[in-house]
Amino acid sequence: MLSVARRPLSAAVPVGNLLGIHLFQCPDTVGIVARLSECIASRGGNIHSVDFTYNPMLWPRDVLRTDFLNLSQHFSAQRSTVRVPDLDPKYKISVLASKQEIPLFSHACALLFTFSQDHCLFDLLYRWQEGRLPVDINCVISNHDRLKDNHVRRFLERHGIPYHYLPTSPGNKREQEILELVQGTDFVVLARYMQILSEGFLKAYGKDIINIHHGLLPSFKGGNPSRQAFNAGVKLIGATSHFVTPELDAGPIIEQMVERVSHRDTLQSFVVKSENLEKQCLAEAIKSYCELRVLPYELKKTVVF
């Protein structure tokens, strides 16, 4: 496996040049690096670490694509993907998100506070608005309704992003309607979407779906896992972002983050730390995926460059 794509996209690029990203996966053999390097150098490009810059006047986008296609055929590559962020369109995504108001109680059984599952969704919307995620959001789909004066609904309306409320039941997950809404997207993001997508849906969509969940599984399942973990006195919490597969929460892992907690944490600070990890972990997973830095292999594994 070889990736010509690791320098952060914010790194300086020589004037007149563009940053190109090439993800290349093929059986191991002698000469892979040499041939890729020769291809880039012969077109006036330059390799920095394991990414490359090039002059689009000397190496037009269509020629670049053809050159790497020829290399992929020569090495019988399973995957050869090229992106030029400054020229290529952004990835189109749809976001599926639930909204559950979850009450948390103190030991004295008094209501401490409630929180919803909107934190990941709103964080994605905010990062998108700030230009910090290289995506265009096609629509937001939820199985829980939000009032029109809800902060999420107001944000979506202000930016012209359609919102679709599709209530689900155990006998109807509305998958056919969801499938129609996500057609034309490059991948789908589950921002705390508390529903299981069937194998039939995954096959029909046929593209990647990225999920986020807390890192308290499998010890704390079901409702209020944060309260369960808090009461159990855990010392380390985390978040995991992964590809969705038919096996629940078992897809190849893209990103994981952890943070220590202690006896000084209250239940509320515990939840806030957990939510912050989920937001950061999901955003980093999406960014890595869009920069072609995620390479799945061996069914349940990934290489993240």
Residues assigned a catalytic role: 249
Q: State how far the Cα of 121 lies from the Cα of 191, in Å rounded to an integer.
A: 5
- SS3 state at 272: helix
**Cα separation, 213 vs 225, whole angstroms:** 11
Q: How many other C-beta atoms can be found within 10 angstroms of the C-beta atom of residue 294? A: 23
Residue 95 tokens read as 């976001």
- Contact by Cβ (8 Å): 107, 174: no
Rounded Cα distance between 178 and 181, Å, is 5
Q: Which residues fall within 8 angstroms of residue 31, CB to CB, at 6 or more apart?
A: none
